[in-house]
Amino acid sequence: MLAHIFPGQGSQTPGMGQEVYEFSFVAKSKFEKANDILGFRLSDIMFRGTAEELKETRVTQPAIFIHSVALAMFMSEEHKPDMMAGHSLGEFSALVASKAISLDSGIRLVNLRAQAMHRACQDSDGTMAAVLKLDDKTVEDVCNQVGGIVVPANYNSPGQLVISGERNAVEKAAELLKEAGGRAIILNVAGAFHSELMKPAYEELAEAIKNTDFDEPFCPVYQNVTASATTDPKKLQQNLIDHILSPVKWVETVNNMIADGAKEFQEIGPGKILQGLVRKIDPSVEVDSISTIPKPEE
């Protein structure tokens, strides 16, 4: 069984999506739709912008989203996947690619998500840290011991868990985790994603998601909040609302997909981050990253 997985923020790169745009009329129409809805030429920044320009909040999330979705829609015309999942932002890509929500709705929600999270970051002093070489329980226990807001945010792979919260609390937790024998690396991020500090963004986005039409997807979608599959539009909607304040259960998600029959994973969109995580979770499965239109075999 084939699983499509979609990357989150941090996968952007200059020139992203240009080959997809130029090769496929179907894909090109998706990029142009995003340009129209956003009110600026996102595709121009993706194709010719600098790395710094791609880091702008209004650009990063929509760019990764539309690159992933346009490519997925082109590929699924011939080979529909049996299941889908996305990492954080990538969940929006999965929901559009599976036809649970429309492309227009996806673009508007991702744009709102980017702007709302940017405002929440400006209103708080938060950060995140990648913790390596420790088991999840040790990291969770340390987070519980530290005063202030610091929580597990991304369960990425065995021995790699990202924590998030108030800067002082994250820095204190990082020191304690180093003392426990792990590595803790403060990340260069705008704020504390998937923590309580995103509450203002949650409230703003929740209202928009409630007003979005959800349909039954053509394949099960495994969501970050539960790590389990569903095709129920109401569950898809509620889980998407909850995801901004909840941890990304990526290890559990991948393991559940494998348990349900996934033999091949394809990361659809820019970068190879998820490909690496899947290999760490289960080296026995086949995994590849696809960032452009596959060239026909000669």
Beta-bridge partner residues of 248: 154
Cα–chain center distance at 214: 19
**Residue 79 a catalytic site member:** no
Active site residue 88: yes
Q: How far apart, in whole angstroms, are the C-alpha atoms of residue 271 and residue 12?
A: 7
Q: Which pair of tokens denotes residue 173? A: 């937790």
| 169 HSE (CA, 13 A, CB side) | 23
Q: Active site residue: 24, 68, 76, 88, which one? A: 88
Three-state DSSP at 178 gives helix
Give the dihedral sign, CA 70/274/81/295: positive
Structure tokens that stand for 46 in this block: 């993706």
Helix runs in the chain, H state only: 18-23, 25-38, 42-48, 51-54, 57-75, 90-97, 103-122, 136-145, 167-179, 199-210, 233-242, 250-259, 273-281
Q: How does 205-236 read in b/e, with b if 16+ C-beta sit within 10 Å? A: bbebbeebebeebbbbbbbbbbbbbbebeebb
Q: Which of 67, 194, 243, 246 is labelled catalytic?
A: 194
Phi/psi of residue 85, each to 5°?
-160, 155
Cβ partners under 8 Å of residue 239, min gap 6:
223, 224, 225, 226, 230
Q: Which residues are catalytic?
A: 88, 194
